[in-house]
Each structure stands twice: as C-alpha cells, then as structure tokens.
A and B are shown apart, each in its own frame.
Chain A
Amino acid sequence: MSPSSVVLRLHGVTRVHGEGATRVEALRGVSFAAHAGELVAVMGPSGSGKSTLLTIAGGLDQPTEGRVEVEGTDLVALPRAGRSRLRRTSIGYVFQGFNLIPALSAAENVALPLELDGTRTRAARQAALRALEEVGIVELADRFPDDMSGGQQQRVAIARAIVGERRLVLADEPTGALDSETGEEVLRLLRARCDAGAAGVLVTHESRHAAWADRVVFLRDGVVVDESGCEPVESLLETSDAR
C-alpha cells in the first residue's frame, strides 16, 4: 500500500484532560493510520479513549502532543477555521445520537456541510439527493428528522457524512441506538463507502460491528494494545517507531 493512499495518520498522539489530581490521560502516544479503501474499527471498553481518538481525528479536539494528518494536512498546525473547513470538505462524521438538526429537512441536513462551505443551495441540494440515493432513502428527502425512524435518521446522518468528495468518514458508535438488523444496514453502507475508496474509522464497543472492518484496533487505557485484520499489518509496525 503506497503512503500516498494514507488518508488519516496519527503520530504519537497524547491527549491529557485536566491538571494535577484530576489529570486524565485519555490517549497515550497513539499512532495509527487509515488508508483509502479501508475501514478501520477502534474497539475498547468505555473510557479507553476511543471517542477522544475520533474527536482528535476530526479536528474537533486538539492533541496535547503528537501530529494528526488528514490527507497530508497537519490538523494541529491548522487554525480553528481551517479545521472547520476540513470538516466541511474532507471529513464526514456519523454520531451515535444521529445529531440531525430537527429544524432542517433530510435533504437540508445532508446539504449542510456543502452549504456551510458556500456551495449554492441548488447545487448542494442536488449533491444531497445523490447522497440520499446512495443510502437508499431519496424519497424521504423533504421529511424532517422528527418524522423518521431511528434507522432512517442514521441513514441521513451517513448521507451527510459522505456528501461531496469526502475521503474520510468517522463514525462514533453509529449503530448504538439501533437494533442489530438496522445497525447492520448502517455498517453495510459504511463498508460500501470504504469499498468505493474512502477511508473509514469506526468506533464501537461491539465486536460484531467491528468485524465489518478490515482492521480492528484495540484500545486500552489510551494505548493501542493490539490489532487484528486480514492484511499483513504493516501499518501496525509504524506505531513502534513513533514511541
């Protein structure tokens, strides 16, 4: 796998919350990469730092130490506005609680990142409809989130994460609030997106869902303890030189 296809790369990322007695090390020297066309699952019990990893990968949070690169851009060096722009253009987020904006229709929710990026409303809507088509609910485009089932809402959320030319999809327990059948649907969509060339990072505590990934990274107490996958895991070895 050529280095150019690395979409997300974390180098020795450490994240410390609080000071003194309340000091918590959420992540300790984590190194990790996700390549184009690859879905990586991050597994660990609650408090293992997996959500922190995701917020840092998405530029919502900054590491205390280390580097975060998305498609070759160092997020840490980027100003806040720049990170926002990256989230609008390169990174898609899928949350456990769907996090749709109830005041906006499905299509508008999906078009949100594009609109925020300044795309014309009409063009943004076209792209949103395409994304909704991809997740199979284009007929619900003008419904509002409150009028949808959980699975439908999560599909809209996925559509929002993949709309436009996003090459990195970050999903935080995307199946958490869904039954196993609907959850699998959602994973299938994520998987398909990665098969189509995007890099995906899936945070979950359920091994059944993690199994959809090409690689599974185990996190314990802010440290990557193991990885498993069918690939001859050369990315695994990178972590040791970061330490």
Chain B
Amino acid sequence: MSVKQALLALLEQEPMYGYQLRTEFEARTGSAWPLNVGQVYTTLTRLERDGLVEPAGADDEGHEIWRLTAAGHDEVAAWFTTPVARTQPPRDELAIKLALAVTVPGVDVGTLIQRQRSATMGALQDYTRLKRQADASTGRTDLAWSLVLDSLVFAAEAEIRWLDHCEARVRRVATESTPLIAPARFERDEQEAGR
C-alpha cells in the first residue's frame, strides 16, 4: 500500500519522527491525501515488525526518531523501480452510476452527464488555480506538489473526456433507435431547472 511506501521513501531522505513524517508527506502531495498521525504510527509499527525500519533514539525534544534498515533501503529502491500495477480497476462510483442510469428507465442521462461535467470542471479549475499559485515559487517540494496536481488535473481531464465520450455515445444511440433521452433535455431551461 502506498502509505507504507511513501513513509519508507521519506525516511530514505533522512531519519524522522512520526509527526514530522506526516507533515512532509502532506507538503509534498499538497494535502491531496490527508494522513492522520495515528495512521503514521500504526504504519511505522508494522514496518518495524517487518524489519524495514528501526528506532534511532530520540531528538532533543524527545521525539522518537525512525530510520531505514538495510532491508528498508532495498524496499525503497525496489518501489521506485517497479511500475504501479493496474491489476484491478478501482471501484469508480461515477462509472457505476452511469452504467445504472442508462439501464434504469426515467433517468435523464444528459443532465446527469452535464452536471457531473460542470462539477468536474469546477474541480479542474480549482486544481489549475492551485497549480498557478504553486508555479509562483520554484522549490523542489513545489515541483513535487505541482506534479501531484498535474496528476489530478489529468485525471479530471480524463474524466471530462470520458463524459464527453459517454454523451456522444448516448446521443448517437438516441438518434439511431428509440429516444433514450430527448434532445430537448439538453436545452438550457432544463439545466436551469435542475440547478
């Protein structure tokens, strides 16, 4: 799991204590995936059990410092050199929702898609705005964050593109056979009413 690998990767840089690890993680990923301290300590315990980290005493303020073992170093190296596997598609609520919407009668698929697209677009605009702010400075951490943002941007873009595609498919089906959705559903007043 990625939290485990992420902590190992952070410790690769220098030995740290638990809270510090959490701060670093969030700084680098732009708080995209919030992490609570409890989760950090649980993970550290598990890593120690597996022989990947070991305690390295305490700092001046009494925080317990963790560092990588030799096996831990190997694990980090292996992680960076192995591609992320896409064995099983993550459960995607939107995909499931659309799949059901086109099969359940009485659902306005067009409006559903457009509303989703507006929402995703809003998110995309937010990400882009964050990116613009991130671009203002040029630290190494900011690069890291900016890349994470890019990942989110591209994911959102992919979703919009997928929605566009769905819409085109749905409309084609609608014009070819029995109207699944009336073209009028795309008219503006419907949208206004839906708001």
Direct contact of A and B (CB under 8 A): yes
Q: Which residues of A contact B (CB under 8 A)?
A: 45, 188, 191, 206-208, 210-214, 216, 218, 220-221, 223-230, 239-240, 243
**8 Å CB contact of A211 from B127, B168, B186, B189:** B127
Contacts of B151 in A (CB 8 A): none
Interface size on B, residues (CB 8 A): 29
Contact (Cβ within 8 A) B125 A216: yes
Query: Which of B19-27, B50-58, B68-76, B114-122 forms contacts with chain A?
Result: B114-122
B5 is an interface residue with CB less than 8 A from chain A: no
Shortest 7 CB-CB contacts between residues of A and residues of B: A211-B124, A211-B128, A207-B160, A228-B118, A208-B157, A228-B121, A211-B125
Q: Which residues of B contact A (CB under 8 A)?
A: 114, 117-122, 124-129, 132, 135, 153-154, 156-157, 160-161, 164, 168, 186-189, 191-192
A211 to B191, CA, bound (A): 21
Contact (Cβ within 8 A) A239 B153: no
A211 to B168, CA, bound (A): 21
Contact (Cβ within 8 A) B188 A243: yes
User: In the complex, how many angstroms separate the beta carbon of A135 from the nearest chain B beta carbon?
Assistant: 16
**With A207-B160, A239-B188 known to touch, is A228 a contact of B128 (CB < 8 Å)?**
no
21 contacts between A and B (CB under 8 A): A45-B164, A45-B168, A188-B135, A207-B120, A207-B124, A207-B160, A208-B154, A210-B124, A211-B153, A212-B128, A212-B132, A213-B125, A214-B125, A216-B125, A218-B117, A223-B188, A226-B117, A226-B191, A239-B188, A240-B188, A240-B189
**8 Å CB contact of A226 from B118, B126, B160, B168:** B118
Contacts of B160 in A (CB 8 A): 207
A81 to B164, CA, bound (A): 41
Contacts of A213 in B (CB 8 A): 125
Contacts of B189 in A (CB 8 A): 240
User: In the complex, how many angstroms separate the beta carbon of A12 from the nearest chain B beta carbon?
Assistant: 12
Contact (Cβ within 8 A) A229 B186: no
User: In the complex, how many angstroms separate the beta carbon of A209 from the nearest chain B beta carbon?
Assistant: 9
User: In the complex, how many angstroms separate the beta carbon of B117 from the nearest chain A beta carbon?
Assistant: 7
Contact (Cβ within 8 A) A229 B122: yes
Contacts of B129 in A (CB 8 A): 230
A125 to B26, CA, bound (A): 49
Contacts of A45 in B (CB 8 A): 164, 168
Contacts of A207 in B (CB 8 A): 120-121, 124, 156-157, 160-161
